[in-house]
Amino acid sequence: LNDNPSHYKITLSGTVKSPKINFDPPFLMLMPVPLDVKTETTINIIPQDYLRQSQIQVELPELKLEDGDRIYPFSVQFPEGQNIVLSSDGTNKELICHISFRSSRPVSFLGSMFFIDEEEN
């Protein structure tokens, strides 16, 4: 600073935003159906505050039946892909997710599906 011994103090402040996703609807109830008939619905995944591209993975629940057998009656599809993309205006594009259920055995279930990004959020 041109040999001037004055001291300058700079103060910086900011806010850290953690990436998160919301769901529309926020919870899901699939209607009862006859055995081996598929029921399905669509949800919107709404990413917020992602600053770079990430990909969503889904952990589907395993159901344990009364006889000890384990089944995976849920499936998911992302018809437009499962990448979270940052658009030119700084927002993240919503993702469409089809969730379906089919079982050849009688079962009911109350639990969670986990949607996880690449950083395991």
Q: Write down the domain spans for the chain.
A: 20-116
pLDDT tier at 120, thresholds 50, 70, 90:
confident
Mean pLDDT for the chain?
Answer: 89
Fold of domain 20-116: Immunoglobulin-like (2.60.40)
The counts of H helices and E strands in the chain are: 0, 10
Q: Give the separation between CA 47 and CA 20, rounded to whole angstroms.
A: 6
Specify the pLDDT at position 23. 94
Question: What b/e readout covers 79-105, taking b as 16+ CB neighbours within 10 angstroms?
Answer: eeebebebeeeeebeebebebebebee
pLDDT tens by residue, 60-101: 999 988 888 999 999 999 999 999 988 888 789 999 999 999
Query: Is the distance from CB of 116 to CB of 60 less than 8 angstroms?
Result: no
pLDDT single digits (tens) 101-119: 999 998 888 888 999 998 8
d(CA 84, CA 78): 12
**What's the token pair of residue 95?**
């993702």
* pLDDT > 80? residue 32: yes
Q: What is the dihedral of CA 48, 54, 12, 88, to 10 degrees?
A: -70
pLDDT for 8 beyond 80: no
As beta bridge partners, residue 43 has 97
What are the helix (H) ranges across 34-120? none
* Model pLDDT, residue 2: 64
Res 37: pLDDT: 95
Share of the chain above pLDDT 90, in %: 51
**Contact criterion met (CB below 8 Å) for 47 and 95:** yes
